[in-house]
């Protein structure tokens, strides 16, 4: 692939990233909820999380919405965007 094409492709392939820190939920409680939505499209994952009674579901949904907002912001500048991963840190 020519260098100019590679640079243009890198510019348009952006990732939305959202990190939630200092959430007072144990990882063992968050992990099963994350496993439910891992690999699903964003809209479907948010629909699943909306119907779960867990506190972790609310926090995960909030983090996914944040990544979605960042992606929409990047789309404003003409970039394609992909959701890759969601991180929770203590």
Higher pLDDT, residue 1 or 21: 21
Number of domains in the chain: 1
Work out the pLDDT band at 58, boundaries 50, 70, 90: very high
Q: Which domain holds residue 72?
A: 3-89
At 38 the pLDDT is 86
CATH number at residue 76: 3.90.470.10
b/e 27-58 (16+ beta carbons within 10 angstroms → b): eeebeebbeebeeeeeeebbebbeebeeebbe
Top mean-pLDDT range of 1-5, 14-18, 58-62, 80-84: 58-62
């Amino acid at each position: 692939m020519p260098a100019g094409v590679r640079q243009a492709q890198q510019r348009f392939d952006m990732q939305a990233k959202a990190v939630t820190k200092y959430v007072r939920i144990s990882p063992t409680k968050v992990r099963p909820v994350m496993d439910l939505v891992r690999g699903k499209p964003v809209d479907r994952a948010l629909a699943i999380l909306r119907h779960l009674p867990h506190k972790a579901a609310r926090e995960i949904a909030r983090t996914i919405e944040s990544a979605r907002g960042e992606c929409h912001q990047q789309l404003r500048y003409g970039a394609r965007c992909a959701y890759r991963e969601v991180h929770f840190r203590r």
